[in-house]
Amino acid sequence: MTKGKIGIFDSGVGGLTVAREVIKLLPLESIVYLGDTARVPYGTKSSLTVTKFSAQALNFLQTRGVKLIVIACNTVSALSLSSLKKNFSLPIVGVLKPGAEKAVNTTRRGVIGVIGTEATIRSRAYPKIIKSINPKIKVRERSCPLLVPLVEEGWLKEKVTYSVVSFYLRPLLKKRIDTLILGCTHYPLLKSVIQEIVGEKIVLIDSAREVAKQVRKILKEENMLRDFKDWSGKNVSQHQFFVTDRPEKFSSLTKVFLGKNINGNVQKISLE
């Protein structure tokens, strides 16, 4: 089982921010990434639709010999994780719990802010998890639907980006949050703009790193961690990337999201 790969699923390209941390922490593991680029965004869709699309994606990943699946998408983790866990026997890791736990351990005043897609915020999944860890903590949420298109456009530091981020965050700042969960795959790329707007005293929680740690923990516990090189001492990890539409567009965005080019190593598949 150490030989199996780690499956990473996202609605599109954003989950590469999670893949990046998994690869960094577990460099000997191989990744199979699937981005449902034909049907992105998920953040505006209903729970029923998101769960149906996600089950199709997980079925595909299972055919690629994965030993564990990471749901990199906050929207899927918020809306569909429990249903997916019921229907698939592989270990499945969502992104909400690791981020929520980190936030609970970080907050000083007990007021945590959460930003995410419309569907994530509508689901109230973050407050539910946070309150299950510590019911005294107050959670203040805000959906930020314009941030995903801004990031996909590559507008990470434009004037308009500052204006939009500041418009969304101002009401949260008034609510005296001291910790802010970046509850969407795309937001880590806006970290410096967000930090500048909220000020140094507010701690930003990027769940990607926490998710990678959680993956390592599970693989270790289940004796599935690949922590050895091959007989010649080489790292033989190999990553594969699949999308459901426009592989060239995905390739062009990997530099920003994954931190490196993958030189066209992207295959188009169909989930329907």
Q: How far is the CB of 53 from ligand DGL (least distance, A)?
A: 10
Looking up tokens 């419309």 gives 118
**Closest residue to ligand DGL, based on beta-carbon distance:** 43
Q: How far is the CB of 217 from ligand DGL (least distance, A)?
A: 22
Q: In Å, what is the CA distance from 161 to each residue of 14, 130, 195, 226? A: 17, 29, 13, 41
Our CB check for ligand DGL shows the closer of 185 and 254 to be 185
Task: Say how far apart CA 64 and CA 8 lie, in whole Å.
Answer: 11
Q: In Å, what is the CA distance from 118 to each residue of 27, 169, 207? A: 34, 15, 18
Q: How far is the CB of 218 from ligand DGL (least distance, A)?
A: 21
Q: In Å, what is the CA distance from 60 to each residue of 20, 53, 264? A: 21, 11, 21
Q: How are beta strands 31-35 and 240-243 bridged, if at all?
A: parallel
Q: How far is the CB of 200 from ligand DGL (least distance, A)?
A: 26
Looking up tokens 């769940």 gives 207
Our CB check for ligand DGL shows the closer of 4 and 94 to be 94
Our CB check for ligand DGL shows the closer of 148 and 219 to be 148
Q: How far is the CB of 43 from ligand DGL (least distance, A)?
A: 3
Q: Which are the catalytic amino acids?
A: 73, 184
Our CB check for ligand DGL shows the closer of 118 and 178 to be 118
Residues in the site for ligand DGL, rule: CB under 6 A? Answer: 10-12, 14, 40-43, 73-75, 117, 120, 148, 184-186
Please state whether 148 falls in left (phi above 0), alpha (psi between -120 and 50) or beta.
alpha
Our CB check for ligand DGL shows the closer of 20 and 186 to be 186
